[in-house]
């Protein structure tokens, strides 16, 4: 006991006395840490430091503050924004015929272009002082989503100028002269912007772009000025074929040191009129048969003045940070809006189709296999809408949460792919025949585009979400990296020493906390609410603690190798992602007044998230290189095994039932879905058939009763059944007429398009 007492005293003295601790403990650990820390390139460091930490930081710390989540204001449209949605947007939707746009003209009609430009659709993010509308992020998201349920081509055309591009870059970084020159024209639609970053050999690795600019002297407007000689070759640039102003990213060098002492200045962004000599635009790509403008731009030895650098000459070399910060905001609005639009359209139309379409004498929505898919469609759409609102709300708080927007981009595009596959499965032949009646085909074609652009999904999941999240969201790691990189070794050691004790305390707290929560299955965790959702807050807190613990062990054991263990780190990213999605769902439920009708959708969404968290942890433990540490972590986090399951069948059936009948929850869940006014529009036709079949149910019950009594044969076609019921006076004349009209409408709604011989060939020639 005496020896143990002396050992405890020694440890206390070592840790309590700064000089002793620094020499005996911190210095050796600091040396090891500098060896194992992941080496960061300049572009990685800038990406790591860009943007804001938000709710993702709470989730990563192992102790989410649920009161803080609930206190985040619910995003709301202003009266002006709602009026624009009700008037200008609705007018635009009525002007669109997406089948003709994609298959015949392969461009928006000129009146549509004129209406978009002249009514401020390109001006949503531009301040009113420059003639813009200065709409909120939630308004931007809602407008794009609404348009996308009608036409993906129109939605992308509107989306791009209000996302990453000249407008946003100018507002954040432009000089006053640049803002005065360009923003009024962009707001009025007289200037059409595009931004060129991606090229044939530079996509995800933007730091490796081959496009160059060299500082030199040249002629501009008859005078010799200091400027840049540019060479570039860009691909996949949306709106490039019709752009009047080109935003360009390139690597800038100054070999003659005309701007200062540095020869390599780094990635730089400039704004160039497409009418400038040497700028080449016009060639089009044809992405997945979609008609939005997308194409190439290139230039050889194009001279521009230094003043065309966005932000002026002082912003030379600062382009990558500018792009990362602006891209994170745009990524949180644009592609999530498209994914959500897919959910709204697919949910409303698939529910209607499943009710209208009959097999074996009843609606196919009554079959359990269809109900399983409908449950998944409805549950994922609820998650999509919750994420859309929460993520756009963060941007309206003047934040740029880079990790959160990466989560939204990856998971929302993947969820839209999943629910569209389910929708196709239910619609079967109705979905695969392209034509004016098909409301799913263009969305299906567009999903791979969303998955590919603004950071391909493989990159986003495997490198960005956890790669940035582990460092940005961790309370100590980024500060420790800064200490290790400090050129003043003594100052760095002192800074690291102050962080080390806090980090050790943090790690020990998470270790014992994870074990306690594992042994008690999170039963003693707090919840900000009572009722059916209280258990979810407890489990999410438990998994947050598990994530913090596993991330610390991963960084400790693997160091710089962790970023190369992409499959391993991606699983921890999945845990963080599903914690965020579940948080968004719970907040959405609270913000909308805890509606009882929402509960099946909440249960499905959060239970699915917990299941995916368990699956991600299982893969992480199975593949962690150090098997002892893997076993230790698994025992600490899940001492009784991973118990999370996918939602019960009853939950899917409840969601399916809600989608198979007119209801408030159906309307709220699909409120952005465009419904045409007449039978000439496929969505309007399906919605009318859906209503007609529902309204006819009391009359169908009369027929069923007559069939049960043996008066009418059961297997007659419906048209003959109605005639027989009329003959037997089971139905009145007006009732029979109503059923005949319903049957005709139903048959029209489930029918597919066909084309006369030579008709498709004629369309191909027009194209």
The whole-angstrom separation of Cα 386 and Cα 582 is 9
Instruction: Please list the residues that pair with 264 across neighbouring strands.
Output: 253
Closest CA to 266 of 494, 463, 449, 45: 45
Burial tier of 93 (Cβ tally within 10 Å: 0-12, 13-18, 19+): middle
Query: 675 in the Ramachandran plot: left (φ > 0), alpha (ψ -120 to 50) or beta?
Result: beta
Q: Is 134 left (phi over 0), alpha (psi -120 to 50) or beta?
A: left
Q: Where are the alpha helices (DSSP H) in 682-732?
A: 682-695, 697-708, 718-727
Q: Burial letters for 194-223: b for 16+ Cβ neighbours within 10 Å, e otherwise? A: bbbbbbeebbeebbebebebbbeebebeee
Is 170:271 a contact under the CB 8 Å cutoff? yes
Question: Rounded to the nearest 5 degrees, what angle is found at the Cα of 242, between the Cα atoms of 236 and 243?
Answer: 80
From 47, 37, 35, select the one nearest 463 (Cα to Cα): 47
d(CA 330, CA 171): 14
Provide the residue count of the chain.
767
Instruction: Please name the residues in contact with 519: beta carbons below 8 A apart, sequence gap of 6 or more.
Output: 639
Report the Cα 749 to chain-centroid distance in Å: 32
- 756, containing H or E segment: none
The tokens describing 433, both together, are: 């025949």
Question: What is the C-alpha separation between 348 and 370, in angstroms, rounded?
Answer: 15
Q: Match 């489990």 to its residue by tokens.
A: 539
Q: Counting Cβ atoms within 10 Å, is residue 225 exposed (0-12), middle (13-18) or buried (19+)?
A: middle
CB atoms within 10 A of CB 607: 20
Dihedrals phi, psi of 567, to nearest 5 degrees: -65, -35
- What are the Cα distances from residue 178, in Å, to 130, 181, 216, 229, 690? 12, 5, 22, 20, 54
Residue of 81, 454, 480, 735 marked catalytic: 454
Contacts 24+ apart (CB under 8 A), 409-412: 409/331, 409/332, 409/335, 409/336, 409/454, 409/455, 409/457, 409/460, 410/457, 410/460, 410/461, 410/465, 410/577, 411/387, 411/577, 411/581, 412/335, 412/336, 412/339, 412/340, 412/384, 412/387, 412/388
Evaluate the CA torsion angle 344, 345, 348, 351 in order and state its sign.
negative
Which residue(s) pair with 251 in the sheet? 212, 267
Helix (H) or strand (E) holding 288: none
Sheet strands (E) in 416-543: none
C-alpha–C-alpha distance, residues 445 and 359, integer Å: 28
Does the annotation count 454 as an active-site position?
A: yes
Between CA 22 and CA 16 the distance in angstroms is 10
Helices (H), 559-661: 566-591, 599-623, 627-637, 649-659
Question: What count of other Cβ atoms lies within 10 Å of the Cβ of residue 766?
Answer: 10
Catalytic residues: 454
């Amino acid at each position: 006991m005496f020896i143990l007492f002396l050992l405890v005293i020694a440890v206390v003295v070592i840790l309590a006395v700064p000089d002793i601790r620094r020499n005996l403990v911190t210095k050796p650990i600091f040396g090891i840490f500098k060896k194992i820390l992941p080496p960061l390139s300049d572009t990685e460091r800038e990406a790591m430091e860009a943007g804001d930490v938000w709710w993702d930081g709470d989730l990563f710390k192992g102790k989410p503050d649920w009161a803080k989540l609930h206190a985040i204001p619910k995003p709301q449209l202003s009266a002006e924004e709602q009026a624009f949605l009700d008037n200008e947007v609705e007018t635009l939707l009525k002007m669109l015929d997406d089948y003709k746009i994609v298959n015949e003209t392969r461009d928006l009609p000129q009146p549509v272009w004129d209406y978009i430009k002249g009514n401020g659709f390109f001006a949503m993010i531009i301040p009113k002082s420059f003639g813009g509308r200065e709409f909120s992020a939630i308004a931007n998201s809602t407008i794009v989503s609404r348009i996308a349920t009608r036409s993906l081509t129109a939605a992308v055309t509107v989306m791009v100028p209000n996302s990453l591009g000249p407008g946003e870059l100018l507002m954040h970084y432009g000089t006053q002269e640049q803002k005065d020159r360009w923003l009024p024209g962009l707001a009025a639609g007289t200037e059409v912007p595009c931004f060129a970053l991606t090229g044939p050999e530079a996509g995800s690795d933007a730091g490796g772009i081959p496009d160059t600019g060299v500082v030199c002297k040249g002629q501009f407007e008859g005078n010799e000025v200091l400027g840049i000689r540019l060479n570039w070759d860009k691909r996949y640039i949306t709106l490039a074929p019709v752009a009047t102003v080109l935003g360009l990213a390139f690597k800038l060098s100054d070999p003659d040191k005309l701007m200062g002492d540095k020869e390599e200045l780094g990635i730089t962004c400039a704004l160039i009129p497409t009418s400038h000599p040497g700028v080449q635009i016009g060639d089009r790509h044809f992405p997945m048969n979609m008609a939005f403008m997308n194409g190439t731009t290139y230039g050889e030895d194009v001279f521009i003045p230094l003043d065309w650098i966005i932000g002026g000459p002082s912003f030379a070399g600062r382009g990558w940070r500018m792009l990362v910060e602006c891209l994170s905001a745009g990524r949180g609005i644009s592609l999530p809006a498209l994914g959500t639009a897919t959910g709204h359209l697919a949910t409303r139309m698939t529910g209607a189709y499943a009710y209208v379409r009959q097999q074996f004498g009843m609606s196919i929505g009554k079959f359990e296999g269809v109900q399983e898919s409908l449950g998944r469609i409805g549950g994922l759409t609820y998650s999509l809408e919750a994420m859309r609102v929460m993520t756009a709300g963060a941007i309206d708080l003047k934040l740029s949460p880079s990790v959160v927007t990466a989560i939204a981009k990856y998971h929302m595009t993947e969820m839209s792919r999943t629910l569209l596959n389910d929708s196709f499965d239910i619609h079967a032949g109705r979905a695969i025949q392209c034509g004016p009646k098909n409301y799913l085909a263009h969305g299906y074609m567009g999903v791979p585009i969303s998955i590919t652009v603004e950071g391909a999904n493989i990159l986003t999941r495997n490198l960005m979400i956890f790669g940035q999240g582990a460092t940005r969201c961790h309370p100590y790691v980024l500060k420790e990296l800064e200490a290790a990189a400090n050129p003043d070794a003594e100052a760095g050691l002192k800074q690291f020493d102050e962080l080390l004790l806090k980090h050790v305390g943090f790690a020990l707290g998470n270790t014992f906390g994870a074990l306690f929560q594992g042994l008690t299955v999170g039963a003693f965790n707090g919840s900000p609410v009572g009722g059916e959702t209280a258990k979810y807050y407890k489990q999410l807190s438990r998994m947050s603690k598990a994530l913090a613990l596993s991330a610390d062990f991963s960084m400790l054991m693997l160091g710089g190798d962790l970023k190369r263990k992409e499959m391993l780190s991606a699983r921890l990213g999945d845990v963080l992602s599903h914690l965020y999605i579940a948080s968004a769902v719970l907040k959405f439920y609270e913000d909308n007044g805890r509606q009882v009708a929402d509960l099946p959708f909440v249960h499905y969404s959060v239970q699915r998230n917990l299941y995916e968290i368990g699956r991600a942890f299982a893969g992480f433990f199975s593949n962690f290189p150090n098997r002892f540490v893997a076993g230790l972590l698994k025992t600490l986090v899940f001492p009784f095994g991973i118990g999370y399951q996918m939602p019960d069948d009853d939950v899917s059936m409840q969601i399916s039932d809600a989608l198979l009948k007119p209801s408030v929850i159906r309307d709220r869940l699909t409120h952005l879905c465009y419904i045409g006014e007449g039978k000439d529009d496929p969505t309007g036709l399906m919605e009318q058939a859906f209503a007609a079949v529902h309204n006819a149910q009391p009359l169908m019950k009369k027929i069923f009763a007559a069939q049960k009594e043996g008066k009418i044969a059961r297997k007659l076609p419906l048209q003959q059944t109605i005639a027989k019921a009329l003959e037997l006076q089971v139905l009145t004349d007006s009732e029979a007429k109503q059923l005949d009209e319903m049957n005709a409408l139903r048959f029209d709604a489930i029918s597919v398009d066909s084309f006369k011989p030579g008709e498709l060939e004629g369309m191909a020639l027009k194209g």
